[in-house]
Structure 1
């Protein structure tokens, strides 16, 4: 069985102050064209369809264009979609019962029955896809009276265990949008949002029995411990920290139970690249290729002398400048002369200090966990 794995579309996002509407329309059009040419057995979208929980009207129109284009491919390709932490679960799930008749399966929330399941069939038998939208422990505690999960790992583990999945004989694919962590820390980007103190981390061992885990949330394509547990990354670069990424559309081939899976990365061609350039002002003004002029550019100037209106001069050459930084002997010396590092505390750290000053003692582990959950709930609101 072959399927596309994509995630984190972030429709409606801006890169610094530049709209990405046309960039997103172009890249989603390329995904649709690949779907027409290759006709996968399914398309999995692992959360963060929108960049904001209340998307703009033009973002909703672009998402509608994308779904409509995919649904017009004949024979119809099943599309499986979950909500991410940026999405409004209720809004994304709108008309899900109606769309199910068009082979578009939406899972915005976990139901009383647990995860939404979609079963497809190929020459080797059934493949069951489990749709697990972004969850917090508080979202699912009502499903486990008397043994409520306290951590993100426990919440995911209990949901999976409650499904009574046949991992021995059947092929099973998980679609999930969480921050999974293996033995080592995964690569993260500036454009991602994480919880205070890593509270939202999920131990990847709880999903290792799946034949493939199609993950969303991290913007860099990478596996988590095993090749079958994989973040596909974004289709576009959404921060300067992603400038070196090679974005691609993942085509996954799942063979017979127990066979190694195959992952192909299909080339994508963005309207604008994201680049970093470093050098003196004269170098950056002189050494410009035609391709770079309209790309999104992060510039670091290394001139030692004071410059006359460097941004205005650079604007004459580059049409989409994201930022201009200065890095030279003077700026490095200023940093070295700082007597103390400015530390930005998290809400939990600030409250912990306040509590200790007022009570004369530190919070207990149970109290710290309780406050972490409160800050998470406030952030979610």
Structure 2
């Protein structure tokens, strides 16, 4: 079967040069004991010869391209806290449409990613977690028993035979943490080079624009941008009325920093189900740390999907807790309308959302920062920062 897999890679180089060239980066390893189908850690491509024997030549090329996309998209180092089976499925749902759109075929039973087309594995994982949470308790337990556990990098618990998907066609396992930085840089450079070559030949696969954009424009540190945005809109000034005591002993009369009370700020949270619990938790922690420094008069937390689902007000000094309510569609306009109806003039508004909603036609007078958890929908106004779980 080693010859069959090698032949499939050579055929990919001719038929699908983007996938073919990248597939040559992976060391082929035949493995019947710990590999159910195919799997990769970004360095090696393990395959079960008995499984490969069941595939047609076209299906084998599709499965190899599938594994290449796991590597190119960094799925071997992006799992973080997520359970291995759930992450594997989410990653498959994200990349399978790209393989099919490129004109290739996948084996019968491959996960259908059509409903999630264009979404990242993180987003798909969060959506499916929400769906599981809305199931009856008995169904939740069945779902959890099929795929929970944290797994260790490179072990079977993160993608070996014990956790292999029953309805998948290829797996992804965690890369070694010590190799992650080098592996990420290597794959990023290789993907860009392969894309450049494929583009010159007019053969760049559809659906690769997002990956290429993320490689060319790495995500910014959203925590730093959030902190800078809120601090910029706090009211700090210097006053000559009270001299700075540090300089009086030197005979210098210098102004002291006067921190006026920061006007109320607003935090809006998209509760349509597209923002994960972990993201909300990390976002809340960061907001609390910043608010503790700038001390606004109050923080209004608004929960909104297609309409306002709830508002919590935290007075100066109170710790902020964010507990989403709702899970309907997405419309941003109710938040801005509520602020207007309350005759509120906030120092700023921070909106955590996947950006897939209706924006107000007119930009408000106060500063707005969109915490974008998706990356696909630009805001017509305001500042935007891509927010990722870390």
**Normalising by the residue count of structure 2, what TM-score does the alignment of the two structures yield?**
0.24
Task: Please identify the structure whose Cα radius of gyration is greater.
Answer: 2
- Which structure shows the higher helix fraction? 2
- Which structure shows the higher strand fraction? 1
**Normalising by the residue count of structure 1, what TM-score does the alignment of the two structures yield?**
0.25
